[in-house]
Amino acid sequence: MATGHVAVIGSFNADLVLDLPRMAARGETLAARALHRFPGGKGSNQAIAAARAGARVTMLASLGTDAEGDAALALWAREGVQARAVRHPVLPTGMAVILLEGGDNRIILAPGANMALAAADAAPPPCDVVLAQLEVPAPAIAAAFAAAGGARRVLNAAPADAAAATRLLPLTDILLVNAGEAMALAPAAGQDAAALAQALAGQVGQAAVVTAGPAGAVLAMRGGAVLRAPAPPVAVRDTTGAGDAFAGAFCAALAGGADHAAALRAGVAAGSLACTVLGAVPSLPHRAAIAALLDEGLVR
């Protein structure tokens, strides 16, 4: 498959992961079993995931003038991601606290400089796919999509923000959401992933994808066709990076010339592999691992 170019407009966060025996009750002090620090942020994670999946990647972001911002630039350089980052003189680099209990997580986000990304700093380079999430301001995403030229515009409408997503849907070619986010955008469609994808596909230019955890993912084309990719059985350790792994691999496949079905399978394979490793960035799989899982025939 050819190597395509993915431009990602999105966030970087320094992730602080607390591994808990259980969630604390109101007013309770609870000792964590372990503390881990990882680089994170949906935009950064997805950029790295796309690069590891074989794409050429450019990252557009806003960072603080602090050590965490320096770490982001160093990380992207190591991962082969070209950075187009502005440095905010006052706001700190974003941070997320991730409460991990078994294979489930709860995330508390302090966005910091991510929310200072301006439309003027969001013009993507010539590329095949422009990928955005909702951890940066909607006007910046709208500007990036408006300047995308012939690139496919993929919106991962996460974290759930119905107002921002609704504003951006008319500019979006492919919408990518999990089941909970899909229900927030199409509450009348019920809980079935295929029905949700079909309802959302009518609001965007090409297609809507709904990821459904262990059930895999569904892609509905605007106009009717529905594609499904089941998830292979894996030993789940941490689901934190699974959605970002899916998004990055899905967009890398599209940018490289894959059709929707092949891109959907690549996304499911990458998301499944990510569940087996602790931490977002450490869990993002490389192209060879994704290809090996696809070759096993467990993602059809």
Rounded to whole angstroms, how far apart are CA atoms 162 and 143?
19
Assess whether 244 carries a catalytic annotation.
Answer: yes
Omega of the bond leading into 159 within 30 degrees of 0 (cis):
yes
Determine which one of 19, 244, 259, 295 is catalytic.
Answer: 244
Buried b (16+ CB within 10 A) or exposed e, 142-170: bbbbeebeebbbbbbbbebbeebbeebbe
Token pair for residue 15?
């992730």
Token pair for residue 21?
């025996």
Q: Answer for the pair 41, 11: CB distance below 8 angstroms, yes or no.
A: yes
Rounded to whole angstroms, how far apart are CA atoms 176 and 36?
29
First-to-last CA distance in the chain?
18
Q: Are strands 174-178 and 152-156 parallel, antiparallel or unpaired?
A: parallel
User: Which sign does the torsion angle of CA 235, 281, 290, 243 carry?
Assistant: positive
Active site residues: 244
